[in-house]
Amino acid sequence: MRTLCPALANKTYFNYGGQGPLPTPSLQAITASWQRIQELGPFTGAVWPFVEQETARVRQALAALCDVGPHRIALTENVTSGCVLPLWGLPWSPGDELLLSDCEHPGVVAACQELARREGLEIRWLPVLELCTTHGQNALDAAVLAGLEQALTPQTKLVALSHLLWNSGSVMPITAVAARLKQQPNQPWLLVDAAQSMGAIPVEEAAAAADIYAFTGHKWCCGPEGLGGVALSERLLEQAQPTLIGWRSLRHEASAGSSFHSDARRFEVATSCVPLCSGLATSLELLAAQGTAAQRLERIQAGSRRLWQGLQTLEGVNTLLPEPPPAGLVSFTLAGRSSAAVVERLGEQGLWIRRLDDPDCLRACTHVTTTEAEIDMLLDALRALA
């Protein structure tokens, strides 16, 4: 896999959580898809079977990863579309409460704030960041559930909680949260931002348990930018209306009087880039050839553990998590150094990590393509800066 990624050939790369490298076979699949579309179409009776085949291929692959039927997968442009589009079409009433974890991505938070403004909803916060920095992963699950218990009210209509937190790198107990929400009298919706989990850890149980499980293909799945998806629950498909409506949302695309698709396609919109489907499907096949999701996670964890342990030996460095990370995100601070300056200095050496604003910290990611030598180079460079 590593040798198939030109992005990894000329740099030491730790930003998989920002964007994954695109393997050459995936780019070739994208180009071949475009050429085939030109040969058959682009708008002819001969091209539709090919378009349908490539779309169905990636939908089925994503459905298999989520362990749901393909009818529960909507293809989207990015993880934000997957989170936000189904959200807007839920049946809201003024006074309903949205309970957001304090580790959600700014885009999702801003979308919830705008929804709350228009619909007269209340936003409440579920504090999980501090729990992450003070609990090991095993104790963390119980602490998060205890926090949820305190935060739920009879007005809570939705809980937004990422599966793998983008800042601390902790895994959230999504299936246990889903089970708890089922016991609430008004059964709040569960929105899960899966930007960091899809392609990095096994997701099937969480994806099947959430109402909205939204992911992208361009991070840990190593697919092209501009294509993601969302797994939707049966009850959401029954109760939520689409908001951004186009011909792909409609059962009979040529008629405005048409009803919406009854399956997840009601949340798809209009023309998108079909060749990206060919690219993502290829990337998913390349990843699958590296082992099962559980096997790949073991390799990811071996890398992040090596990095986390190495960071413990550096003066002035503090990891956010008190124990080796459950996946590939390793966040830390470097005392007395501006995070932006550290990123820049490392970049000058061809070593790429990123900084986060909230909390202000540095984040390095290990994937199945990360080598021990790369991790040791990063540790050496940080030692020189520390």
Interacting residues with a copy of itself between 33 and 62 (CB under 8 A): 34-35, 37-39, 41-46
15 scored as a contact of a copy of itself (CB under 8 A):
yes
Binder to a copy of itself among 3, 31, 93, 187 (CB under 8 A)?
31
- H runs (alpha helix) in 89-198: 106-119, 129-134, 137-151, 174-182
Minimal distance, residue 38 CB to a copy of itself, in Å: 4
Cβ contacts of 56 within 8 Å, gap of 6 or more: 70
> Which CB sits closer to a copy of itself, 38 or 295?
38
| Cα 202 to Cα 242: distance, rounded to the nearest angstrom | 29
Q: Work out whether 79 is an interface residue with a copy of itself (CB under 8 A).
A: yes
Q: Which of residues 218-277 bind a copy of itself (CB under 8 A)?
A: 218, 224-227, 241-247, 249-250, 253-256, 258, 260, 269-274, 276
Q: Is 18 in the site for a copy of itself (CB under 8 A)?
A: yes
Prior bond of 91 cis (ω within 30°): no
Residues 180-199 that bind a copy of itself (CB under 8 A): none
- Give the interface segment with a copy of itself, choosing from 25-33, 142-150, 157-165, 168-176 (CB under 8 A): 25-33
- CB under 8 A: which stretch of 20-28, 158-166, 186-194, 301-309 binds a copy of itself? 20-28
CA-atom Rg of the chain in angstroms: 21
Region 311-370 residues binding a copy of itself, contact defined as CB under 8 A: 343-344, 347, 352, 354, 356-358
Which of residues 1, 50, 70, 107 is near a copy of itself by CB under 8 A?
107
Region binding a copy of itself by CB under 8 A among candidate stretches 138-146, 148-156, 217-225, 286-294: 217-225
Say how many C-beta atoms besides its own lie within 10 A of residue 10's C-beta.
8
What are residue 260's DSSP bridge partners?
250
Distance CA 43, CA 59 (A): 22
User: Smaller CB distance to a copy of itself: residue 5 or 327?
Assistant: 5
Mention every residue, 6+ apart, whose C-beta is less than 8 A from residue 193: 79, 83, 104, 105, 108, 160, 161, 162, 163, 166, 214
**Nearer Cβ to a copy of itself, position 68 or 84?**
84
Contact between 202 and a copy of itself per CB under 8 A: no
Q: In what order do the strands lie in the sheet with 156-160?
A: 73-76, 228-232, 212-216, 189-193, 156-160, 97-101, 122-126
Q: Quick one: which of 113, 137, 318, 349 contacts a copy of itself (CB under 8 A)?
A: 113
Nearest to 263 by CA among 249, 280, 279: 249
Q: Which is nearer to a copy of itself, 36 or 71 (CB)?
A: 36
Residue 228, strand partner residues: 76, 216
Distance from C-alpha of 120 to C-alpha of 369, rounded to nearest angstrom: 47
DSSP state of 241: P
Q: How far is the CB of 205 from a copy of itself (least distance, A)?
A: 26
Q: Distance between CA 11 and CA 20 in Å, rounded?
A: 13
Contact range with a copy of itself by CB under 8 A, out of 101-109, 143-151, 205-213, 369-377: 101-109
Which of 59-67, 102-110, 142-150, 285-293 is the region at the interface with a copy of itself (rule: CB under 8 A)?
Answer: 102-110
